[in-house]
Each structure stands twice: as C-alpha cells, then as structure tokens.
Chains A and B, each alone.
Chain A
Amino acid sequence: MNANTTITHTQGETQLMARFETVREELAGSVSVDALRSAAAAQLRQAGLPHRRVEEYKYSDLRAFMKSAAPLATPSAAPDIEAALSALDSYGDLERHRIVIANGSYRAEFSDAAALAEDGVTVADFSAALTADDGAQLLATPRTAGQDGLLALNTAFVQGGVVVDVRAGTTVSKPIEIVHVATSEGAQVTRCRIAVGEGAGLRLLETFTGDMGSGELNAVFDYAVGDRAKLASTRLIAGAAAGPRLLTTIATIGADAEFKSLGFIAGPGFARNQQFVNFTGEHSDAKIYGVSMARGTSLADQTLIVDHAVPHCNSREYFKTVLDDSARGVYQGRINVAPHAQKTDGEMMTQALLLSEEAEMANKPELEIFADDVVCAHGATSGQIDEELLFYLRARGIPEDEAQTLLIMAFLSEAIEEFDEEDVTEVLEARVRDWLAVKN
C-alpha cells in the first residue's frame, strides 16, 4: 500500500481510529511502546483493516466483517470473574494451573502464580512489563509476519496479558490453562509472552470464555521455545461469538527443541488462527495441527507460515476442516525453506469435508524452497462424505445421522490423535461430538 494513498475508511475503521484517540493516554507502555502503538495505528489508518485484496486475507475479509468497532472492554468486577470461572467447563477435572486474563487484563488474584512459582514458573503482568525501559521488545514481530494487519491492530490496542517464564530445566508438572474471560461486552486485545527456558517443558491450554458482544478478540501468543525445550499448546476457539476471534501465534524455536500446537475452531462467526513459526536453531521439530468446524455463514481460517531458516529441522502441518451449510473454511499454509536450510523435512496436509453443496473451502498449501537437499511434501483434499463408507455402516444397522457422525469424528480424530496430547484428546473429541449434535 502506497503511503500517499488515502483510503476511504469504513465505519468500523473510523470507529477504530476514534477508539485509539480515546484510549491512547490510558494504554500502558514506555515511550518507545507508545511510539510503536502510534506507528501501528498509523498503519491501520493508511491500509485499513485487512481485506480481500491483501493476499493473506483474500478469503477472510476482516474489513467487510467488522462493520463496527466496539470500545475496549473495561476492567471486570471480581464477582463476575468468579461467576464466569465457575461456569467454565473447558477441561473438566483435568489437573491444571490457571492464569486468568479478564476483559483484557491479567488478574493475579484469580491465577495460580504462587503454585506456579513452586513449579518453576514466574508470571508477570504484560501491561506492567510494557512500561519498563525495554518494554518495546515485548511487541517485536517476526520477519515472517511482514506488515500483518492483525498484529498491528494488536500492537495499537494491546491492553494486557501475561509474561510467563519457565525456568530452564523445569518440566512443569501440570498443564497451564490461560483463560481469557469476558465479563462484559467490548473488545479484548491481549498479548502473552511465553518463554520456555532451555531444556524446560510446558503444556499450555488456551481457553476463551464469555460474551464480548460484537467486540473483537485479538490475542497474540508469543512463544520462545529454548534449546532442548518442549512446548505443546492447545487453543480452543469455541462457542458462538458475534465479534471476530483473531488469534496469532508467534513461535521462535531454538535448537533441539520441540513445538507442538493444535488450533481448534468450532462456533464463532469469524475466526482466524494465524501462526508464524520460526526455526532459529537446528535439529528441532514443529508439529502444527488444526481442527476447524463451521456451519451457518461462519468462517474458519487457519493460516500459517513455517519458516525453515536453519538446516536439519522437521515440520509437520496437518489440518482438518468440516463445513456445513454455507460456511467457509480457509487453509493457507506456507513452508519456507531458506537457501542454506538443508535437510529440512516438511510435510503439510490439509483435508476438508464438505457436508453441504454451499459450503466452500479455500485450500492453499504452498512450499517455497530455496535449498536443494530437502524433503518437502504437501497435499490438499476437499470432498464429501464417502458414500461407500456410509453405506457400509448403514448396512450394519447404523442410522444415517449416527453413521455420518462416526465418519466425521473419525476424519477429525486423525489430527487430534496425531497431536497426541492424551489429556486433551477426550475433551476435544467431546467438543466435536457436541458440535455435531447441534445439527442432529
């Protein structure tokens, strides 16, 4: 976008500009953070919200979807947070630590910081960290993200979040669930910086609950996976939501490390889960999974770039999408292999199951390979339920609805099972069943 071009702002964009003017004084940050926020707002003013003429947003026109921009959510009252948390049914009885971000701000009194400290994990308030002299580094964006509009929107408005550090050599005994709670309507813009120290291990659960009205959720998770460290994150973007659900992962992976993630989308009208995964050390693995379900007129977008900037790393990308009614699914995945990143092994697969004639899937797997000694493969499929399989099940007495459910479940489970986080497998499969049950 040329800097001299002025665009005609939509109502949503105009309201976002006004929102920035209203809140900029209150938003936390050092002088340099403030400068970054202003620059991001300027980018937004110039380029507008990401829209279909921006390659990365070709199928997910946020400008068209965000007809209005709600004000930022104001701080939650404690009893409301309590009520929301007791109603939360994300992972049942699973033993876990909890970190609570309510209406965009870290709430220590509802978080298990003390227990986490004993487990080798420190938790700090992201907004407080932004005011430190070096606060601006918390807003750094990777080269792979370019001038991404969602990240700019996040930088301009980020309210709070957490900075989590897992001490080197520590394997955190229980998963940590970072719960985003909305206790009132309004936008929530958060950022979490999760550093898993050298040789440490962490399982992370990311959950979002509560009604934000038409407000957008814009959450960035910035993971630094140290050398020989392991991080597994499960992101649950579920439940009907009127406003857009905009999630961004930045992953920076050290040497001999392992990063694993699963992005689960079921329900929101507009959900985008975008990931920038960057290898910075050799002999590391990234396994990125996605499970998307959409019906009605919903959009489920899984977008990622996996950047093999160094040799000897493996990445696996495996995405499953089920679409009904006139829902739309998007998969845009790119594996970059730098000229010297020899011995890269990348295997990307995206598969969609269309349950209706009107459902649409945009599958765009891409490889950009500049090294010669690599093994990279990609594939994409899109189709209906196999009639032969359906007939076989029905011939055994299983009614059509139930047979369909069995086959859809089997289809999605392939990714969930390969993700192989036993704690969450059952919960995710139950969510799939719940989603399917709504129709039947």
Chain B
Amino acid sequence: MLEIKNLHARIAEDEAEILRGIDLTVNPGEVHAVMGPNGSGKSTLSYILAGKEDYEITEGEILFNGENMLDMEPDERAAAGMFLAFQYPIEIPGVATMEFLKTALNAQRKARGEDPLSIPDFMKTVKAKAADLNISMDMLKRPLNVGFSGGEKKRSEILQMSLLEPKLCVLDETDSGLDIDALRIVSEGVNKLRSPERAMVVITHYQRLLDHIVPDVVHVLSRGKIVKTGDKALALELEKNGYADYVDAAA
C-alpha cells in the first residue's frame, strides 16, 4: 500500500534536513506504530504524506498503491485514500462542520467518479458515526473545530476519518489531549476501521494507546531515520527504558 524509499526532506527555505533516509513499507491490513523523541521528524513525515508544501524532497520516493505519491496534489491523495489525522487540528471559522464534512465527502466521491451522497443518507451516516464517538449534534453545528476542546478536536478528526473511509490512515498523536474515556472511545472508533484492505500508521509517544490499538509493527524514528523496527514488544520496552539505546545508534 505504502512504500517509502530512502526519503530525505528539508524545509524548503533553509537547509536543515529533517528526514534523512526513511525506508518504510506498510501493507494492507497492517498497523504500524511510529514512536520517537520530540523533534525526530514524525509529524514531518505525516505532513509529507498528506502533501504539505513546506518541505523539499531532496531524495527518495513514496509509492501509494504503486503510484508516485509525490506527484499528487493533497486533494488527489485524499481522494485516492490517504488520510492524516492532524496532531494539531486547526480551527476554520465560518465553515460549518456539517457543511465541511459534506463538501469533503462529495468532493472525494466526485474525484472517484461516484455520485454525491443524498442529504438524508449523509445525515444518517454522520449522526450514527458521531454518536459512536460521543460527538454531539451541537458540536457539528459549530464552525469546524472552533471552540472545540483539545479532546473534541481529536474526536472530530476520527469522525472525519470514519466518514471518509480512507485506505491509509495516518494518526499523528491522536491520543494526546484525550481523557481516559475518550481514549477508549477513539480507539474503538479506530479499531472499527481496521480491515484487511486498510492500513494504519499510528504516531504516538505512549504505550497506553497501543494497548487499545495493537500494532503489528513498531518503528523508532530518531533524527529523521528509522533506527529500530520490531513488534509490539518494542513499544513496551521503550516505555520502560526510554529512547537512550536507539538515539545513540542514530548518531
């Protein structure tokens, strides 16, 4: 599904290389966890996958279902099944959440040559999925993310994800800011989406999320490189010992 080969990237304006040769292959049905110290490049990797323009790719390539992902616009990637749950979802004043959800869903359907969803069908789907995630209709009436609490924003991201039914879900610290109950609700929402056709990349600092969303593969990212790959036991080990062993290895 996703093949990242020797990816190097830096901020376009200056010369600092943030990603320094990432190799990562994610197959359909797999859940990969990416962990690593603050500033190691996890969010950068997720932004590059989503198509943010702030970065310059100096080397390497990304294949998404065999296609060159770096040639695609962000909205084309989304229509092809890429979804990023942002670490910091932004507020969009003046754009009603419902209207936004409908526009996004129908834009993707259109790009794939499908008919738009009828309004009643759309409403029914949103209501059901919102209820699963404990999101009130009142929240959906507000402008997108405006005045949402930190946890509400994260739940709103997962609502979008479950509505858009992407093929590749990249979750950037979706657990941060969630209370204990919300963590469980959101994890259940994510687990519902697990399927043999869908892959997930879960970026997190904490084992507690991985207790709920059990990964097949765990990677440690340090200074822009994957320095260790293992199974779910690796996360447990990191929880105990920290990154000291791996950070040095990357130097």
CA of A413 to CA of B51, assembled, Å: 29
- 16 residue pairs of the A-B complex, CB under 8 angstroms, read A387-B53, A388-B90, A391-B74, A392-B92, A393-B92, A394-B78, A395-B74, A396-B75, A396-B100, A397-B111, A400-B75, A402-B107, A406-B95, A407-B92, A407-B94, A410-B94
Number of interface residues of B (CB under 8 A): 28
- Choose among A389, A398, A400 the residue that contacts B104 (Cβ–Cβ < 8 A): A398
Contact (Cβ within 8 A) B86 A410: no
CB neighbours of A391 from chain B (8 A): 50-53, 74
Of all chain B residues, the one with the shortest Cβ separation from A403 is B75
- Choose among B53, B79, B103 the residue that contacts A406 (Cβ–Cβ < 8 A): B103
CB neighbours of B107 from chain A (8 A): 396-399, 402
Instruction: Give chain A nearest CB distance to B144 CB in angstroms.
Output: 9
CB neighbours of A409 from chain B (8 A): 94
CB neighbours of B203 from chain A (8 A): none
Does A372 have its Cβ within 8 Å of any Cβ on chain B? no
Of all chain A residues, the one with the shortest Cβ separation from B80 is A397
Contact (Cβ within 8 A) A392 B86: yes
- A interface, CB within 8 angstroms of B: 387-389, 391-400, 402-403, 406-407, 409-411, 413-414
The residue among B52, B77, B105, B108 with the most chain A CB atoms within 10 A of its own CB is B52
B residues 27-83 near A (Cβ < 8 Å) are 50-53, 73-75, 77-79
Instruction: Give chain B nearest CB distance to A293 CB in angstroms.
Output: 16
- Choose among A396, A402, A410, A411 the residue that contacts B164 (Cβ–Cβ < 8 A): A396
CA of A396 to CA of B76, assembled, Å: 9
Tally A-B pairs: CB < 8 A: 75
CA of A389 to CA of B146, assembled, Å: 13
- Choose among A398, A400, A402, A410 the residue that contacts B93 (Cβ–Cβ < 8 A): A410
Does B160 have its Cβ within 8 Å of any Cβ on chain A? yes
CB neighbours of B209 from chain A (8 A): none
Contact (Cβ within 8 A) B92 A410: yes
Contact (Cβ within 8 A) B90 A398: no
Does B84 have its Cβ within 8 Å of any Cβ on chain A? yes
Contact (Cβ within 8 A) A389 B160: no
CB neighbours of B111 from chain A (8 A): 397, 399
Question: Do A411 and B94 form a contact, CB below 8 Å, given A395-B51, A397-B108?
Answer: yes
Of all chain B residues, the one with the shortest Cβ separation from A396 is B104
Question: Do A413 and B52 form a contact, CB below 8 Å, given A396-B164, A399-B75, A402-B103?
Answer: no
CB neighbours of B105 from chain A (8 A): 397
CB neighbours of A411 from chain B (8 A): 94
CB neighbours of A403 from chain B (8 A): 75
- Choose among B78, B92, B95, B103 the residue that contacts A395 (Cβ–Cβ < 8 A): B78
Contact (Cβ within 8 A) A396 B90: no
Contact (Cβ within 8 A) B90 A397: no
Instruction: Give chain A nearest CB distance to B121 CB in angstroms.
Output: 18
Of all chain B residues, the one with the shortest Cβ separation from A409 is B94
CB neighbours of B74 from chain A (8 A): 391, 394-395
Interface string of B83-126 (1 = CB under 8 A from A): 01010011011110000100111011001000000000000000
Contact (Cβ within 8 A) B95 A398: no
CB neighbours of A402 from chain B (8 A): 103, 107
CB neighbours of A413 from chain B (8 A): 94
CB neighbours of A395 from chain B (8 A): 50-52, 74-75, 77-78, 84
CB neighbours of A396 from chain B (8 A): 75, 78, 100, 104, 107-108, 160, 164
Q: Given A387-B53, A395-B75, A396-B78, 11 more contacts at CB 8 Å?
A: A392-B89, A395-B74, A396-B107, A396-B164, A397-B79, A397-B104, A400-B73, A400-B75, A407-B92, A407-B94, A409-B94
CA of A394 to CA of B53, assembled, Å: 12
Instruction: Give chain B nearest CB distance to A159 CB in angstroms.
Output: 41
CA of A388 to CA of B86, assembled, Å: 12
CB neighbours of A388 from chain B (8 A): 90
CB neighbours of B75 from chain A (8 A): 394-400, 403
The residue among A395, A406, A413 with the most chain B CB atoms within 10 A of its own CB is A395
Question: Do A389 and B94 form a contact, CB below 8 Å, given A394-B78, A397-B78, A397-B104?
Answer: no
CA of A388 to CA of B73, assembled, Å: 15
CB neighbours of A393 from chain B (8 A): 92, 100, 104
Instruction: Give chain B nearest CB distance to A187 CB in angstroms.
Output: 39
Contact (Cβ within 8 A) B90 A389: yes
Interface string of B122-165 (1 = CB under 8 A from A): 00000000000000000000010000000000000000100010
